[in-house]
Amino acid sequence: MATTPPATTRTTARTGAGAADGGRDRAKRADAVRNVESIVAAATRVLAVDPDASINDIAKAAGVGRVTLYGHFDSRATLVREVVDRAIAQTDAALAEVDLDGDPRDALGRMLEASWRLTHRFGALVVAGSQVLPPEEMRRAHDGPMTRARGVLERGRQAGALRADMPIDWQLSVIQAILHGASAAVHRGEITSDDAPGLVRDTALAALTA
Amino acid sequence: MATTPPATTRTTARTGAGAADGGRDRAKRADAVRNVESIVAAATRVLAVDPDASINDIAKAAGVGRVTLYGHFDSRATLVREVVDRAIAQTDAALAEVDLDGDPRDALGRMLEASWRLTHRFGALVVAGSQVLPPEEMRRAHDGPMTRARGVLERGRQAGALRADMPIDWQLSVIQAILHGASAAVHRGEITSDDAPGLVRDTALAALTA
DNA sequence: CTTAAACTGTACATCCGTGTTCGAGTTAGG
DNA sequence: CCTAACTCGAACACGGATGTACAGTTTAAG
């Protein structure tokens, strides 16, 4: 260690899916990758409950030092972005598997149950995102599921299976509200997470039925 | 104005300044009272939108200096407590005027419309309170309206006018969720504040009807 | 008119969260 | 086993928010 290293080796978080852009990076060490996973998982878990959780809280929850976290993510915003991006990916993947054909009410029911799991898992993550990321970026997160849900709603309205005497945007807001309300109720112990999906489905369906 | 002798007074809000002298209290001056009102009003307005608003923001919105605010309220928590207390008082007063007799569905509708106005006015105030005040103190805020609403719900369920196949706590949560969802939707420009009460009433009623 | 209460801005001490730097210890992997 | 990558804790700079202290001016009220 007599000679000073030429430059401090700063590891830029380069977990990009797809091909590596630009130059080739050395393969990341195994424990590094493992730690990044721990951090993202912990951040998701913690931020879903408390969107104002500090970097310290997240690092502690991940079982790593605060400095180590900064070694993988430039800033809090970067970390939040990564977490949100993964949540979006999981959400899209989960919703893409939902069968939207057949009776509109049944289709909506299936979508509601799937959405419940996601809402319950990610909770207040959207709040954390909104506080750090530009609103445009959050827009994208909700856009996918929104248009998907809107499609089902429109079909149900035209088929006469759902009431059409309210703005469709309002009906989407109601679904959102019930989903988040259920998450809060579970977290408060008023209902169990087993009962939640059924209650959400029945209640939302009742609210939207003619 | 008049008769008030400068002798008998009671200590309410003190002008904090350090090592106070012996113990001579005088009646509060008129402009002081006026400023306190401005501060509380501004705090209510600001905190209802952004529960994390700083003391500076509130003072600015009230048109007074930051130091003046501290002259009337020891700390941020004190201010929030005062604001919340007043909100509770207004809420109780407004809900006490609602006629809960007659057809349960009509009674619930009236209560929903009244609750909407309060929710829209106070918005995220409950969040600000929860972050600063002990949870027990927030409990009290919701307890009054809650038991009142629960009474109407129970009556409606036993009369067969409302569905009884879900936990009553869940139904209360749904009402809460729809109210807050509507407030968010208005604030987001999706619906107008004129349409909101009707939509809230119709939607909640539909969600709770057998 | 006189006085004390109240207001104001500035400045200061403090706490907390963020982001960075440093030196040293630990571990993966050739 | 040797080296570079990785991790860790402590310490520092910075900014924002909370309270407090001070000194000068305005204003209510007797």
Q: Note the ipTM here.
A: 0.87
Distance A119 CA to C26 C1' (A): 40
B163 in A contact zone (CB under 8 Å): yes
Closest chain A residue by Cα to residue B50: A131
Residue B148, pLDDT score = 96
Angstroms from A18 CA to nearest CA on chain B:
36
Closest chain B residue by Cα to residue A173: B181
HEC per residue, chain B: CCCCCCCCCCCCCCCCCCCCCCCCCCCCCHHHHHHHHHHHHHHHHHHHHCCCCCHHHHHHHHCCCHHHHHHHCCCHHHHHHHHHHHHHHHHHHHHHCCCCCCCHHHHHHHHHHHHHHHHHHHCCHHHHHHHHCCHHHHHHHHHHHHHHHHHHHHHHHHCCCCCCCCCHHHHHHHHHHHHHHHHHHHHHCCCCCCCHHHHHHHHHHHHHCC
Q: Which nucleotides of chain D have an atom under 7 angstroms from any protein CB?
A: 5-11, 16-22, 27-30
Nucleic acid strand C within 7 Å of A11 CB: no
Chain B interface disruption, residue of A174, A176, A187, most B CBs within 10 A: A174
- Contact check, Cβ <8 Å, B181/A176: yes
Least confident range from A105-114, B135-144, B145-154: namely: B135-144
Contacts of B196 (CB under 8 A, 6+ apart): B116, B120, B182, B183, B185, B186
Residues from chain B that touch A170, judged by Cβ atoms under 8 A, are 185, 190-191, 199, 203
Residue B18 has pLDDT above 50, yes or no: no
Residue B189 has pLDDT above 70, yes or no: yes
| One-letter amino acid for residue B180 of the chain | H
- Contact check, Cβ <8 Å, B173/A163: no
Nucleic acid strand C within 7 Å of A7 CB: no
Distance A27 CA to D1 C1' (A): 22
Mean pLDDT of B141-158: 95
Angstroms from B190 CA to nearest CA on chain A:
7
- Contact check, Cβ <8 Å, B170/A199: yes
- Contact check, Cβ <8 Å, A207/B209: no
Distance B209 CA to D27 C1' (A): 61
Q: Structure tokens of A114?
A: 């799937």
DSSP A34-75: HHHHHHHHHHHHHHHH-TT--HHHHHHHHTS-HHHHHHH-SS
State whether CATH 3.90.25 applies to domain A30-73: no
A155-191 pLDDT, tens digit per residue, is 999 999 999 999 999 999 999 999 999 999 999 999 9
Residue B174, pLDDT score = 98
- Confidence band (pLDDT; 50, 70, 90) for B44? very high
Nearest to A148 by CA among A115, A191, A196: A115
Q: Which nucleotides of chain C have an atom under 7 angstroms from any protein CB?
A: 4-11, 16-22, 24, 27-29
Angstroms from B39 CA to nearest CA on chain A:
26
Nearest to A208 by CA among A182, A158, A172, A181: A172
- Confidence band (pLDDT; 50, 70, 90) for B24? very low
Q: CA B207, CA B162: separation in Å to the nearest integer?
A: 9
Low-confidence stretches of chain A (pLDDT < 70) are: 1-26
Residue A141, pLDDT score = 85
**Which residues 175-204 on chain A approach chain B with CB closer than 8 angstroms?**
176-178, 180-182, 184-185, 190-191, 195, 199, 202-204
A127 in B contact zone (CB under 8 Å): no
Residue B12 has pLDDT above 60, yes or no: no
User: Per residue in A152-169, is it b (16+ CB within 10 Å) or e — as a string?
Assistant: bbebbbeeebbbbebeeb
- Confidence band (pLDDT; 50, 70, 90) for B26? low
State whether CATH 1.10.357.10 applies to domain B84-208: yes
Q: Where are the domains of chain B?
A: 30-73, 84-208
Q: CA A53, CA A172: separation in Å to the nearest integer?
A: 29
Residue B111 has pLDDT above 90, yes or no: yes
Distance A17 CA to C26 C1' (A): 30
What topology is assigned to A77-208 in CATH? Tetracycline Repressor; domain 2 (1.10.357)
- Contact check, Cβ <8 Å, B184/A173: yes
